[in-house]
Structure formats: structure tokens, C-alpha cells
Structure 1
């Protein structure tokens, strides 16, 4: 028989009133028990026979049952058997006027908590009820703890003070490969890999042996010999004398996380190295305009150090005091998504010196929210000096024509270089945006996969629970109903159906990043200025379209009709510069129409026996007939002041005609738009072709 624990005087406080069912055919007994139990704060229900008792058990949550053995209808033994067969978890106190020992033993074997002989007093009822409910709660908490340990995805190990394993949960088996039977009574050192020093383990044992909690990482070895990295928390368990009796360890396999961290660190290192290779300053700010990143060129140009960056530098401090208000207004416009035109400033270095600067910026957005600004700064001191020299040369006398021509040639080369640097600067933010797009949706897909895997794990654990119940012969229809409910809540079919698309979409994102990086590598490869190699124009066009995509995608769709053409002897980087200038020119021309629908840029290649051709056509506003003959002149532009240098077409013409002995022509059809045609000879020529403008 279960008896109250000796000397127990206190019971756990009731969080809410417990419900006690009294099943007895005696009205006097029901009344006495009801009065006693309600006085103790319990809610009571009564039944005068076994049938009504069973009905109440089926429709109500009962925490304790006082059950008379002899009742009309179903007797107490039948009700007790029904409770056992249907796995109803509640303590049952059997009531009987008979002192039949065998009957009492049968009740206890069938799961009864106590067997009370009539008559009994209110004190006995109170003590029995409290003890039964207290023990029931302890059993419930023990079952809950056991279930939690079994279903916990982390590994749990309990060892004695010498490190001998006494308990492991399934999470430990999943991580290490050792079953509970294989690990029990083994030393925890079976996981030791030899990858960490003895001093590391000495400090570890020293800390936990002193009664302190240890937290850190181990490189361990699984049962199959494979190494893995785990994050581990070890806590001592002490007895009443504060002596350590056991250690409990919580383990998590972080091997994949470490690989991801290493891959991320490598990616950041590569980005840093790439950024530091650029000859222009690159910077990022937060939404308040505080600079959060700069490459080495930026720090060197402005004279700041990494420590200055950590202390905090506002982006407006990079400009002279007279222009800081303008810079602040432009920052606010950019953060609000509003356009502005003036991006030329006087840079202000830490030592107080100044220089003219051209700043290209783009907002940094995540999930539709602007988090800051990313940009590139061009020191245009040389360009300004060159412009000043050109203005001076235009004012000189005729006898200085030869000297002016020589100086103009030098200046022209400087401007070509400056224009190329400006193009790179203009594209840099766009390329970062192009790479960020697939990176962002891959990151979102990974977050979705993590959530989906959690859902799948939860339904898998429920299936395992049902499996265990089936093996134990305790399977009930309610188990399948719970699985059906979870599957409906998680919409498991839709979840599984979307997984292939998530992986496919992520794979497309990685392929897009690879395409952009490959095009960047091809585009940035350098040959000597006079070096000529065989080159596929179609490949150059494809790479240029990838690099320049951010310049045209908001204004135009690009159609390519790239024929099968032979390779030509040329300087690939110079031709890519021409393709870039013409494609960006077409995009800007279409954008100038400010129409709601996108325009179209068509690129077509072909060849005949003598030349390879490339036609770049747009449906923009075209070029007025009266200025068509001037479009290849240096510094001639139809754009608004500050929007262009007027060197793009001039440089393109110089590259095609003078450096490659080809032709660059323009044609504006009557129906509108502009067609630029590049013709490059299949055989090298000694004399350059002059350009012509056709109508």
C-alpha cells in the first residue's frame, strides 16, 4: 500500500483548483467527502454509480478519483480496469468497507494509489488527497523531464565526478554515433580527438572541479572516427555538503556553423582585398551618415586611420565646411529615394588640405528599408587641372598650336584614363547591388529552410512518439489525430512541395553571382595598351551586359542577336570600354524620354569576308541631324552640365578607328532611335579608316 511520507507537513501550493471526482453509491459518504475536499480548496464532482462515473471521466478533466468498490452498474474494480486500459493518468483512491487484503492488493496492482477502509475521518481524507496529488504532479514532472531529454536536439551527458558516463540522451547518440548502451560506464574521454592540448583539458577540469560552470568548444571524434566541433556547457551537480557528485554537459554540434563562419570570413577577406585593390576610395555609412567602412585607399586619401573610423567619422566631414550642408541635404534625399544631380564636391582631408572630388552613391536597402549609403569617391584633381589647361590653351595665340597639340595629347590620355576610372566608379555600386540581390534571397531561402527543417523535425518527433507507442502496445486513435492536426497546422504537403523550388532558386542565385564575378574578372583583365590578341566580340558583349546591367535595366530591355563570328585581333579591354560606352549611352538616351514603359536596346553581330560587325540600336529620341557630325568630338555632349564629360563617344571613336583601324558610324532612321555600327577588319590594316555619319 502507498502511505504518506513520514514527517511531511508541507505540500506544494495549488496554482489552480484541482478537480476531484467522488464515485460512491452512499449519499452520506459523497456528502462527507465533498465537504472535506471543498474545505481544502478542491473542486468536486460526484457520481452515484459506475456508469455515471465513467461518463464524467470521458468528458471532464479529473485530477483525483475517490472510487467506491461496490456500486450499482459498473463496480469500482471495473472502473479501475477501464482507467488502466484507456491510459487515463490520474491517481485513484479506492474506498471499501471490506478489509479483504487480497482485494486491496489487486487494486494496488491495477494502479490504485491508496486503499481506504470505511469508516475514515476527514484528516485521513485530506492527507490522502494531498499526497496523491503531490505524487501525481511529481510523476508528471518526471515524465515531462524525461520526454524533454529524449526529444531535445542537443546532446545531454551526465558523468560522475571522475568523468564516467552515467546517462546520455538520443541527442548525444545523434551527434557522436555512440548509443546509450555503448557510452554508459565509459570515460567521457572516448570523444577525445587529440586535436587540443593537454593544457586545454587541464584548465577545463580545473574549472569544473572547482564548482564553476565551463563553456567553450571541443574538437571531438565520433564513433566512426570523424572529427566534429561541438559547443559545450558543463555544470557541476553538488550534494547537500556542496561536494561534486556529477557533471551535466549540454553539447551542440557546430561543425557546419564553423564551416559557414570560415566561409563568411574568407568571403569578407576576399572582398576586403578586392576593395583595397581599387584605386578609388570606397565607403559605406549607416542611416545617420556615420562611416562604417572604408577601403585602404579611402583612409590614405583622407589621412584617417582605422582608430579614427572606430571613434566615428560623419560622412559630411569629408567635405569642406561650406559644402557640408549641401552634402547633408543630398544624403537625406538619397535615403528618401529622391534623385539629385550635383555630386561634385571639394574634399576635405584630416590635415585640412582640399581637393576636387566626384562622389557616386547608392542606397543600401534590406527588405525595402534603407539602412545606409554605399559610394565611391573619385579624386578629379588631375581632370580639373587638365580642364584648366585646356581652357588656357584655348586662349593662346596661333603660334602655340604645335605646343598646344602636344599638351592636348597628354591631357587626352589623362582624360581617357579618368573616364575609364569614372566608368568603373559608376558601375561599382551597381555591381554591389547586383551581387547583393542574389545573396539576399539565398540568405532568406536559408532562413526559410531553417524554419521548414524545424517544422519537419517537429512532425518527425511526433511520428517517433507514435512509433514508440506502437512498439509498447500503447497506441491509441488520439495519437494519429494529433499527427493529422500537426500536419494540417504545418501544411506539411505544401512545405515539402516548396523545398525543391527553394533549393533551385538558391542555386540560380549562386549561378548569378558566379556569372557576375566571372564577367568582372574578364572585364578587369588587362593587356598592354598596344597589345593585340584574338578575341570573341560576343563574349565581350555578354560580359559588358552583365557589368552594366544596373545602368540599363531600369530603362531598357536588351535583345541580343549574336551571330557566329570569327575572332578578331584586338585589345579586349579597349573594345569592352567601347561596348560599355555605347550601351550606357543608349540607356541614358532612352531614360531621357522619361516614359513609363521600358525602351529596347538591340545588339546584333555578324561578319562578311572582310569585317566583323556589331550594331547597337536603341529606340531613344535619336540625334538631331544638325549635330550628328559633332558627336565624336572630344567634350561634345548633349547632356545637362555635370551629367557627362563628353568623352565617351570620342574615346570610343579613337579606340575603333585609330587604334584598331576599324569604323564607327552612327545612323538615325526616320522612324526614330539611333544605330551605332562597329566594323573591325579581319586582317590588320596599315591605314586607319575615317569615320562617317549616315542618315
Structure 2
């Protein structure tokens, strides 16, 4: 009686017999000679399958690891074939272009990364010469903001692969730091030139002041030398004075005297401003605020573009302030920049009644200097970036974007203080400069 295997059960011997028949190794009678060989073959096959499975797992793990490494790099990495179709697209490329990897793979480079169209000739050249190509500080734009990028093209020539890998690095901050260093050198040169000019102006200015004083004495006073010279000339001093009054000569002399003294004050402030202090000394901050205000009123560029005298000034100075040690020239530079920015903002916004609020407030551990205007204020985006180097809302040629960043550096780094911007509910900007108190002494 024979048994039939239906694929739904049976003992192991029957299954083995069936397998032997299927592979042509004989019937039951040949099982004893061929079964060990079959087992060996099965074990080898199972071992190969396991090794292949492990190799595939390792390959997937390695591929995932490499993809994570590539995606974790701050650079943009894009690989293309000889026809400039995308074969690799890392996370940096997704962030920069807004195109996700599945939507980029297989598509033409220009369609998913239009900014690289200008570099196609260089990519072709790299493929042709089989040599990398480097493009330094390539201007770009992102969200309307000027950027700079280093672009490197590496040709793929190994193991029969053809194509190229394009690497893009954002070097905007590096470029800006280089420009800042250059600008700082220029500012130092201009500062030294201004100080030299101030010294040179002092000499003829002193002559004008002295000559104006001598003219007043010789024309308007009744000293004996004047009476004698008039008599010898056949005139009377009283008649001369009436003539001078009728021609308003005394008021002209007053104007010469006043303007000369005003110019002398400006020169004095310029020399004080340009002089680099070596040590932090006790400082009378209310007096420094007032002197800076006078300097702002007489600043040449400010007077040329804005009428500072049309701004209404409000002051709030606390009494019995704690002692503050600082470098007066540097703090004056900060305050002058804040006043000039405020006046320009109000002028450009055509504020009907421009107002400037200046405060020196006792805050216990520190003294707060406040410069506030009633201008148009700033947006959230500007407020977030207001102290960044080279960030400016002014037109090209009207500002370098260094004023507030340098001011922030002076306050925070040079004086261990703090500097912040607030936007009052009524509009305008309020800049606060906090300087640490130097002791319990009161000034």
C-alpha cells in the first residue's frame, strides 16, 4: 500500500523521499547514499543565503550611514550624471532650494537648482578635463538677501562612473568679516585723518577768534589808543560808532565770534572723540550725554541732510547716580550713532513733530542710558537683526551697517554692559545702554 503526499502534512521521511525524487536522486532505495550529500548542499545554500542576507543588511546599513553623513554636512552636495540629471541630493540642497530629494532625483539640474545654470560651462569643463573646478565668493541671493558661496565641482571618473559632484558652501559671514576688517582699517584711517584735520583747523580758527576780538576792541571801545588814532585821521569815535551801528557791523562781529567759538567747540569734541582712551575712568554720564547732543547738532552730514534743530529734545537725568567707569570716547561714539540714526529715521518718515528722549537712569547695579525717538519704528525682522554686522535698512551708499554692531561690541565686549532695543507701543525705537556701576560712590 502506498502513501500520497498532499503538501499538507506527512512525516519527515516521506518529505525527504519526495525531495529526492524531485531532484532525480532516486527513490527510497537511493536515499541512504544521497541524503547526506543533499543535507550538505542544503546547509551550504542556507549559509550562502544567510551570508547574502547579512551582506545586504550591511550594505543597507552602510548606505544609510553614508546618507546620514552626507545629509548632516553643512554643505550642499548634488551629484549629476553626464547629462546633468540629478543622482544625489542631500539635506542641504533640500533646505536651500525647497525641493525634496524624491522630487529632485532624475530631473535636470537646472530645473531643480536654477541658480547653478550659470555654472554649467564650468561643470562641463571639469568633466572634460577630469579636474576639480573652484569658484570663490560667488554672489547669490536667498530670500532677497545678498549671499556669497564657494562652489566646487568634483568630476566622477572612478570605476567607470561618470558625472560630477557639486559642493556649495555658504561663506557670507566670512566675506562680511573680511569686509569688516577692511572697513575697520578705513575707519581708523579716516579717524586719524579727521584728528589731523582738526589740529590743522585749530590754528586758523584761533587766528579768526583773536582777530574778531581785536576788531571789536578797536572799532567799538573807547580806549585812548582808539581816540588818538581817530583824531589823527580827522574823525570822531562817536560818529564812527553810529556808522558801524547803521551798517550792523557789531552784529556781524558777534556772528563771527559766535560761529568761531562754535567751530572751536566742534574741533574740541572731534579731538576728544578721536582720542583713544587707555583706561576706564569715572565718567559724568549726564554731561557726556549733553556733549554728545551738541556734537550731533553740529555734525556735518547730519546738518546737511537733516535739520537737527527742528527736533524737540526731552531729558530725564537721575540725581545721585552711582559711579560708572568707562572710556568716554567710546561711549560717546555709541550715543552719537544712536542720535544720528534716530534723527535720520524721523526725517525720512516725515514725522510732523520729531521728538528725541534722552535719559540717564539709576538702576542700582548699573546705569541705563536711553535714546528714544517717535519715528516709524522697525519691523520684527529688522528688530531681530538690528545688531548684525553689515545689516542696514539704508539705501546703498548711505550706510555700511556697521554703526550698531560696533556700538554693541563697545558696550558688551569693552564695558561688560548690555545693549538692547525696545519698540514702544506708541511707535518709534528705544535703545538702552546699560553700564555696570563701578562702586558705591555717588557722583
Give the TM-score normalised by structure 2.
Answer: 0.47
User: Whose RCO is larger (CA < 8 A, sep 6+)?
Assistant: 2
Structure with more helix by fraction: 2
